[in-house]
Structure 1
Amino acid sequence: MDTTRYDIIGIGNAIVDVLARTDDHFLDRHDMRKGAMRLIDAEAAERILGVMPPGQIASGGSVANSCAVASGLGARAAFLGKVARDELGIAFANDLRAIGVDFPHAPLPEGAPTARCLILVTPDGQRTMNTYLGACIDFDHTDLDAEAIQSSSILYLEGYLFDPPRAQHAFREAVRIARGAGRKVALSLSDAFCVDRHRAAFLDLITSGGIDILFANEAEICSLFEQNDFDGAVTEAAHTLPLAVLTRSEAGSVVVAGAERHVVAAVPVEVVDTTGAGDAYAAGFMVGLTRKVSLVESAALASRVAATAIGRIGARPDAAALSLLASETA
């Protein structure tokens, strides 16, 4: 009997995104490294928010975005993350549920406020993120929903959430639960700086057999294996992982499964905003896997989904575009 309740269940930072257009001079004035993510404290969050141009506000977080996109493609998705019992926390939960993603978490009754990510988009479409983690750092093993994890085809973990030690413990427990139920486990490395901070922990999780699918971009996979060139990192990935899905922006993606190596072209699109492109790609790829299509077909779907994200402002593709893709690939 099939006991699968969800196609994908994600665990990650529950963050409200504040996204605005700006220019390189703004980044320079505020010591921001273009295209990167940095963690900030509450004081810095208030200061940057006060000088940012007006922008859009929406629920976000890397894996939460992937779950939302997967739901838009017709997948059954759930998300586990920590929010506070405040206005942003309520907005986050309502937004995810309206999209069709189950969000069973009870909010944090007191303490830090709901996390927020201040995203600056420059004219070339690059996004620079300043993240205040807030309530996210309180995520621990008690926030896991074992029954939901056991009944999900893929457990998807967010590398950004590795910063709090309690969350690392929760990840390992979630992996144990998923593997015990015969489920697949996927991990996103999230950011090269994140890999620099947690390389040993990531490698331990991978080499211990806890990860079936790794999502990374070129910089992240090179950082993980401390390689100066992409080909060297691909070779290491082939020896270390059952499946590595590596994105290279306009150069497309490379899917590595042991001796297999598939290069899949990116879909040409005018770059408006790269925010969430990797999240959209991962969603498309995992949806392909849950539909039992080939690795190449999954990557091709992922590329089309990512293109819909890049071609508009915001971290998620347009709902109508996702619905069309879902109908084309059903």
Structure 2
Amino acid sequence: MSTATLDVLTIGNAIVDVLSRAEEDFLLAQGMPKGSMTLIDEARAEAVYQAMGPGIEISGGSAANTAAGVASLGGRAGFVGLVRNDGLGGVFGHDIRAAGVAYETQAAADGPATARCLILVTPDGERTMNTYLGAAQNLTTAHIDRAFVESASITYLEGYLWDPPPAKQAFLAAAEIAHNAGRQVALTLSDAFCVSRYRAEFLDLLRKGVVDLVFANESEVKSLYETADFDAALVQLRADAKQAVVTRSEKGALFTTDGAAVTVPAHPVAEVVDTTGAGDLFAAGFLFGHARGVDPATSLRLGALAAAEVISHIGARPQKTLADLAKEAGFIT
């Protein structure tokens, strides 16, 4: 097996986040339930985009956020996700590369526009999101570069992209390439609603060993096993998954494999400003440590530190260099 040149390669929806401050009157005028996340079509996306006030445009998407987090820790990260060759597609490509992430996916010349999440932040800090998935959902096996996947110690798949059948096949192709190269495959369950749609398929991925490492939060694990009892769900997860990381917000996080478990507390944070991206950055910290051969407890602490940084401000990308914070905490040298 050749030496990996990437620590982590992530695959997911390539989305541009457009953040703008708005008064509640604007939400009412636009018919947006405050605090909601609504999937919208291209025409609606364009209309809302034009109506919004001045905003910040930054590349986003769950797996892309994770890749940016790995890079901020000093890791070698790559990302696979599809944009259109339009204005926001250019924003996405520039931002992800500027974050230190290798991004080689060729932009689509036609078809749906680049995906975007239009985020209205009201004075109380609450987010109301309108998401157009556009080009991101058109990822296929043709976008999976064998050499790129083979170069990564861990290929990390975003559960949100399990909806379109061609993207699902792209996931499976990437997993097969990774395993044939002696690499590991990780999956994030993304959210409880995603789990409810694909429960049987996700369990199949775990039980057949297509996935070596699964990431989930407490609600996703309960949804996976259709129980309100977290401990009972955890027993089943240990039986099904080779390795699993479960985040529990302020209760900390745990890693389990072969019936053994390691638990760490949440990293202290002065003020929780915005929880968007917490799970993505936790995965970044753990994956960075795991790819570098760090012990599970320290990998969990790296995840908790990265999550704490991102929830201390608005936005789903680190504002401080995570490598510096990790060195200060003594987690890496």
Considering the TM-score relative to the shorter chain, is it more than 0.5? yes
Amino acid corresponding to residue 272 of structure 2 in structure 1: V
> Counterpart of 2:280?
279
Verify the 8 A CA contact 2:32 2:128 in the aligned structure 1: no
Distance 2:239 2:264 in 1: 21
2:66 is the counterpart of 1:56 = no
> Counterpart of 1:254?
254
Provide, for residues 39-90 of structure 1, a one-character-per-residue CA deviation record: whole Å limited to 9, x for no partner: 3222332344455554321001100011011011111111111010111111
**Residue 33 (structure 1) shift:** 7.8
Query: Residues 213, 67 of structure 1: CA spacing in aligned structure 2 closer, same or farther, 3 A cutoff?
Result: same
Verify the 8 A CA contact 1:5 1:151 in the aligned structure 2: yes
**Residue 129 (structure 1) shift:** 3.7
> Counterpart of 2:143?
143
Listed as ranges, the matches of 1:1-330 within 5 Å are: 2-21=2-21, 30=31, 32=33, 34=35, 37-50=37-50, 52=52, 54-121=54-121, 127-269=127-269, 270-318=271-319, 320-328=320-328, 329-330=332-333
Verify the 8 A CA contact 1:74 1:326 in the aligned structure 2: no
Query: Residues 253, 200 of structure 1: CA spacing in aligned structure 2 closer, same or farther, 3 A cutoff?
Result: same
Query: Residues 127, 162 of structure 1: CA spacing in aligned structure 2 closer, same or farther, 3 A cutoff?
Result: farther
Amino acid corresponding to residue 265 of structure 1 in structure 2: P
Verify the 8 A CA contact 1:252 1:265 in the aligned structure 2: yes
Distance 1:126 1:219 in 2: 21
Give the structure-2-normalised TM-score. 0.91
Distance 2:187 2:92 in 1: 23
Verify the 8 A CA contact 1:84 1:108 in the aligned structure 2: yes
**Residue 252 (structure 1) shift:** 1.3
Amino acid corresponding to residue 268 of structure 1 in structure 2: P
Amino acid corresponding to residue 288 of structure 1 in structure 2: G
Query: Residues 120, 294 of structure 1: CA spacing in aligned structure 2 closer, same or farther, 3 A cutoff?
Result: farther
- Match of 1:102, SS state, is strand
Task: Say how many residue pairs are matched.
Answer: 328
Q: Give structure 1 stretches of 5+ with no counterpart.
A: none
Verify the 8 A CA contact 2:302 2:326 in the aligned structure 1: no
**Residue 321 (structure 1) shift:** 3.4
Query: Residues 251, 47 of structure 1: CA spacing in aligned structure 2 closer, same or farther, 3 A cutoff?
Result: farther
**Residue 20 (structure 1) shift:** 3.7
**Residue 254 (structure 1) shift:** 2.1
Greater shift, 229-238 or 165-174, is seen at 229-238
Verify the 8 A CA contact 1:121 1:273 in the aligned structure 2: no
Amino acid corresponding to residue 175 of structure 1 in structure 2: A
Verify the 8 A CA contact 2:7 2:292 in the aligned structure 1: no
Give the structure-1-normalised TM-score. 0.92
Provide, for residues 279-318 of structure 1, a one-character-per-residue CA deviation record: whole Å limited to 9, x for no partner: 1100000111122111111101110111000001111111
Verify the 8 A CA contact 1:27 1:33 in the aligned structure 2: yes
Across the aligned residues of Structure 1 and Structure 2, the Cα RMSD in angstroms comes to: 2.2
Distance 2:209 2:102 in 1: 28
Verify the 8 A CA contact 2:206 2:242 in the aligned structure 1: no
Greater shift, 287-296 or 57-66, is seen at 287-296
Amino acid corresponding to residue 185 of structure 2 in structure 1: V
Amino acid corresponding to residue 284 of structure 2 in structure 1: A
**Matched-pair identity in %:** 50
Distance 1:82 1:192 in 2: 24
Distance 2:42 2:305 in 1: 37
Provide, for residues 89-147 of structure 1, a one-character-per-residue CA deviation record: whole Å limited to 9, x for no partner: 11111111111111111110011110001234567766554321111121000000111
Provide, for residues 231-282 of structure 1, a one-character-per-residue CA deviation record: whole Å limited to 9, x for no partner: 1221111111011111111121122223212221112211111111111100
Verify the 8 A CA contact 1:185 1:213 in the aligned structure 2: yes
